[in-house]
Amino acid sequence: MTACPTVRLTMAQALVRFLSQQRTARDGREQALFGGVFGIFGHGNVGGIGQALQEHRAALRYYLARNEQAMVHTAAAYAKMHNRLRTFACTSSIGPGATNMITGAAGATINRVPVLLLPGDIFAGRRPAPVLQQLESPHSQDVSVNDCFKPISRYWDRITRPEQILTALPEAMRVLTSPAETGAVTLALPQDVQAEAYDYPAALFEPRVWTIPRARADRDRLREAAQLMRASRTPLVVAGGGVIYSEATGALRAFVDATGIPVAETQAGKGALPDPHPLAVGGVGATGTRAANLLARDADLVIVIGSRLSDFTTASKTAFQREGVRFLAINVAELDAFKQAALPLVGDARATIEELTELVAGYRVGADYTSAIAALQADWRAEVDRVTTQSAVSNQQSAIPQAQVIGALQEALAPTDVIVCAAGSLPGDLHKLWRARDPKGYHLEYGYSCMGYEIAGGLGVKMAAPERGVYVLVGDGSYLMMAQEIVTAVQERIAITIVLLDNHGFASIGGLSESVGSGGFGTRYRFRNAKTGRLDGKRPLYVRHCRDGYAKYICRYIGRADIKRK
Ligand SMILES: Cc1ncc(C[n+]2csc(CCOP(=O)(O)OP(=O)(O)O)c2C)c(N)n1
Ligand SMILES: [Mg+2]
């Protein structure tokens, strides 16, 4: 027997070399899993992962981000834009650098989007403890701030010996590339262990392809589903992000063209049936269209495809009111497929829609339902035109209404351009008003609705799809929370357009506060008033009169240090 060949590397060198060799494949299309590594160095990673990234920079590109939370958002947006087939790794120091990634990690996991997080960790050898930024615990030495990643990671591990990556890395890759399990994967890397050498088997660094399966639903349940459909007179499809991730938009179109079933969309699913289409009725639920919500109210069968059925989608379980309404759910994740006591079809959206289409051949909704759908759609289109066009502005108004900014962008953007948004009042308006003409044209982070995702996310979208125009729509509150990745975009000469909507505070939460009787307390940007002692003084920002057009609000960062105003 000959000994298996080995390569002597530090743990960090081995990790970086391994990551550069991982690939994904779906439907015969193969690509590198990692687009690169974002990082911010500190004493917890500069000597280990930092050295390894410098050495392997030709195989895996390093990107310098400005904030650790933001770099996770950028990685998540990149992964979402790639339908979860590609992502980024993120390296941080120990302590605050690591915990800054927690919000991004939670967002990725909640949105079911893969990101690989590599926070530095305290010395496994412990002798210098407590090191700078170390959390000390009186009851255990086996505790660090990185334990906070456990509930928000789909896989979590701490590498306390260099050889542990031999078993940890395959698990990390399995989870990252699993359509049902994916989310944040955290490998906490003690700073001493990063730099410890080990004789790794050379086979670890062979290229490895992770094939993304198209899981098939149970045959018997598929037949049951077909029976349910044949008995239905007023079915409605609720299309979620899973339709887009699975690249099932063509299959969905064929399914509804054959059956006449209307399609309502969640935030993540918007664009699943691109506009215009006679059966596209727009957003559903709390922020949905009247057309979709009236159809939802009366539907006798709700066919949920690739949705988590959050409270916004179901309007806190009030959207579907018909007595005896049944749910049929197609989802790769059991957790989602079983919600609302649905008949669960656990499988890939595209494969399952295709099989179901065959099983219901000949079924079509009645002509009365078809004409009701057409009338509701026409009504809603007219309403959108009314609220988004210039004619609705009164001459007295000093500021352009948000709906008209949306209307102007709708007119100006190419169908393949991408709008990016996450929190505030914009997501609700966009869900109702935006007409997504391309499955990847509407990029909303509305699982975590994290203020600050917008610009960092826009950067990730553009990195994933450089050929598309990327337009970040961001409220002033969200902008002030996290805008620094503009500098990263300039550094990388990546052009994104940022549309900033300044309404002097948290209009969305202000409205909510008014509606619960709190009068907008604590939601408006005002100077502290010396007379009252409250935040009801002057507005800190000069109110801009912009009757002459929305374009003033659009700044284009063109990938050089200069900023051009349109
Ligand atoms: C990180 C984070 N903190 C707090 C919230 C709660 N929240 C939701 S919307 C909002 C206000 C957003 O303000 P802005 O971006 O200006 O949008 P607007 O509501 O004015 O449209 C807040 C505070 C959140 N979603 N994310
Ligand atoms: Mg605001």
Give tens-digit pLDDT for 143-198: 999 999 999 999 999 999 999 999 999 999 999 999 999 999 999 999 999 999 99
Token reading at 434: 């935006």
What is the C-alpha separation between 78 and 72, in angstroms, rounded?
10
What residue's CA is closest to ligand 1, atom 2? 451
- Distance between CA atoms of 499 and 412, rounded to whole angstroms? 13
What is the Å distance from ligand 1's center to 488 Cα? 23
* HEC readout, 84-149: CCCEEEEEECCCHHHHCHHHHHHHHHHCCCCEEEEEEECCCCCCCCCCCCCCCCCCCCCCCHHHHH
The C-alpha angle with vertex 16 and arms to 14 and 17, in degrees rounded to 5, equals 65
Alpha carbon distance 324, 311 (integer Å): 20
Q: What pLDDT, on a 0 to 100 scale, did the predictor assign at position 2?
A: 72
Residue 32 has pLDDT above 70, yes or no: yes
Q: Which atom of ligand 1 is nearest to the CA of 474?
A: 15
Nearest CA to ligand 1 atom 23: 506
Q: Which residue do the tokens 């907008």 mark?
A: 520
pTM: 0.95
Which ligand 1 atom sits nearest the alpha carbon of residue 508?
19
DSSP-derived secondary structure letter, 524: B
Mutation test of ligand 1: which of 480, 481, 506, 539 has the most ligand atoms closer than 8 Å to its C-beta? 506
Could you tell me the pLDDT band of residue 491, with boundaries at 50, 70 and 90? very high
Separation in Å, CA 365 to CA 294, 303, 369, 371: 17, 14, 7, 10
Q: Phi/psi at 48 (nearest 5 deg)?
A: -95, -85
Residue 559: its pLDDT value, please? Answer: 31
The residue contributing the CA closest to ligand 1 atom 4 is 451
User: Does ligand 1 have an atom closer than 6 angstroms to the CB of 421?
Assistant: no
| DSSP assignment of 25-76 | EETTEEEESEEEEEE---TTTIIIIIHHHHHTTTTS-EEE-S-HHHHHHHHH
**Ligand 1 neighbour 506 (Cβ under 6 A):** yes
Integer angstrom CA distances of residue 93 from 67, 97, 212:
12, 5, 32
**Amino acid identity at 230:** R
Q: Is the pLDDT of residue 558 over 90?
A: no
> Which amino acid is it at 26?
R
Name the phi and psi angles at 62, rounded to 5. -95, 135
pLDDT at 427 over 90: yes
Sign of the dihedral through C-alpha 18, 20, 21, 24: positive
Bridge partners, residue 331, by sequence: 346
pLDDT at residue number 1: 62
The answer to whether 175 touches 144, Cβ cutoff 8 Å, is no
Separation of alpha carbons 21 and 418, rounded Å: 30
Distance 394 CA to ligand 2 centre (A): 22
**Ligand number nearest to the C-alpha of 509:** 1
Instruction: Evaluate: CB of 450 within 6 angstroms of ligand 1.
Output: yes
303, containing H or E segment: strand 301-305
Question: Helix, strand, coil: what percent of the chain each, to 5?
Answer: 40, 20, 40
**Nearest 5°: phi and psi at 301?**
-145, 125
Residue 481 alpha carbon to ligand 1 centre in Å:
9
**Residue 540 pLDDT class (50, 70, 90 cuts):** confident
- The reported pLDDT for the residue numbered 355 is 98
pLDDT digit string, tens, across residues 91-110 = 999 999 999 999 999 999 99
Query: Residue 401 has which token pair?
Result: 């209404």
pLDDT for 376? 98
What was the pLDDT predicted at 548? 38
487 vs 475: CA distance, rounded Å: 19
**Region 522-529: what's the mean pLDDT?**
96
Residue closest by Cα to atom 12 of ligand 1: 424
Question: Which residue among 509, 512, 513 has the greatest number of ligand 1 atoms within 8 angstroms of its CB, and so is best to mutate?
Answer: 509
User: Does position 550 have pLDDT exceeding 70, yes or no?
Assistant: no
| Amino acid in position 409 | L
Q: How far is the CA of 518 from the centre of ligand 1 (A)?
A: 17
pLDDT in tens, 223-256: 999 999 999 999 999 999 999 999 999 999 999 9
Strand (E) or helix (H) holding 350: helix 349-359
> What mean pLDDT is reported for the chain?
94
Residues with C-beta atoms within 5 A of ion ligand 2: 475-477, 503, 507
From the CB of 425, is ligand 1 less than 6 Å away? Answer: yes
Q: What are phi and psi of 227, to 5 degrees?
A: -65, -45
Question: Quick one: which ligand is closest to 511's CA?
Answer: 1
43 C-alpha to ligand 1 centroid (Å)? 34
Q: Supply 258's token pair.
A: 């054959």
- Sequence letter at residue 82: H
- Note the pLDDT of residue 465: 98
How far does Cα 519 stand from its chain's mean position?
32
> Which tokens in the block code for residue 21?
């060799």
Distance CA 252, CA 248 (A): 6
Whose alpha carbon is nearest atom 10 of ligand 1? 424
Q: How would residue 539 be classed by pLDDT, with cut points 50, 70 and 90?
A: confident
Ligand 2 geometric centre to CA of 381 (Å) = 27
Which residue has 């900033």 as its token pair?
A: 500
Proportion of the chain above pLDDT 70, given as a percent:
94
Q: According to the model, what pLDDT value does residue 327 have?
A: 98
Predicted local confidence at residue 84, as pLDDT: 98
Ligand 2 centroid – CA 159 distance (Å): 43
- For 332-434, strand residue ranges (E) read 343-346, 418-421
Ligand 1 binding pocket mutation candidate from 73, 312, 451 (most atoms within 8 A of CB):
451
Q: Find the largest Cα–Cα distance for the chain.
A: 88
Which pLDDT value is given to residue 213?
Answer: 95
pLDDT at 391: 60
**Is the pLDDT confidence value at 479 over 90?**
yes
397 pLDDT band (50/70/90 cuts)?
A: low
